[in-house]
Amino acid sequence: MADAPAPTPVADEPPTPAGERRAWVDFSRYTVGDYHPGRGRWTRLAWYAVSLLLFETGLCPPPGPKTWLLRKFGAKIGKGVMLKPGVRIKYPWRLEVGDYSWIGEQVWIDSIVNVRIGSHVCISQDVYFCTGSHDHTRELFDLIPGEIVVDDGAWVAARSTLLPHVTVGANAVVAAGAVVSKDVPPAAIVGGVPAKVIGERQPPTG
């Protein structure tokens, strides 16, 4: 009787460096280090309730009462600011907005540290202000907060993301869907992931 054919060998998975299958970070020991949100627990809880009822719902009052509430929680809000439904603000006491700026629907200002928006700025729908990152080279995934500034006359278009330590210069334009990881020069037009300069904005003609 002929011998049975040998089974087809199954290719082994390629060797991997020691420890690659184990998580390199340990969230069980994670802390925020010396970071402090700037207000006590009860103030943060009170703002959380107000935000759910008046900011993160489509059933919201006109901008006047909302800007009044933001000021009561420590925000610096200029005159004529327009806040659309669904705007979400992490900590209003970390927020400053100049005069006559617009903040569109579903904007998420994750202001664990200061966010400053100048005057006559347009922040379009679904823009995300990300003021916190993490050090992936550290086992404890250390928190890295960074402020964000959007200078006067700038336009941050829909569904774009601003990362920590970024300044968008005066009259600059961030194109829709861009991810901004470094400063944007004044009057520059940037787009893409990561965002790069793709043009220059000219002064209005009329």
Decide: residue 148, CB within 10 A, 0-12 exposed, 13-18 middle, 19+ buried: buried
Query: Which pLDDT score is estimated for 5?
Result: 56
Per-residue pLDDT of the chain (206 residues), as tens digits, is 455 555 555 555 555 455 567 899 888 888 888 888 888 999 999 999 989 888 887 776 677 888 999 999 999 999 999 999 899 999 999 999 999 999 999 999 999 999 999 999 999 999 999 999 888 988 888 888 999 999 999 999 999 999 999 999 999 999 999 999 999 999 999 999 999 999 999 998 87
Cβ contacts of 106 within 8 Å, gap of 6 or more: 86, 87, 88, 125, 126
Which string of DSSP letters, residue by residue, matches 34-52?
T---SS-HHHHHHHHHHII
Alpha carbon distance 81, 5 (integer Å): 79
Q: What is the pLDDT of residue 8?
A: 54
- The per-residue pLDDT for 9 is 52
In this structure, what DSSP letter does residue 123 have?
Answer: E
Distance from C-alpha of 3 to C-alpha of 190, rounded to nearest angstrom: 70
pTM for this one? 0.86
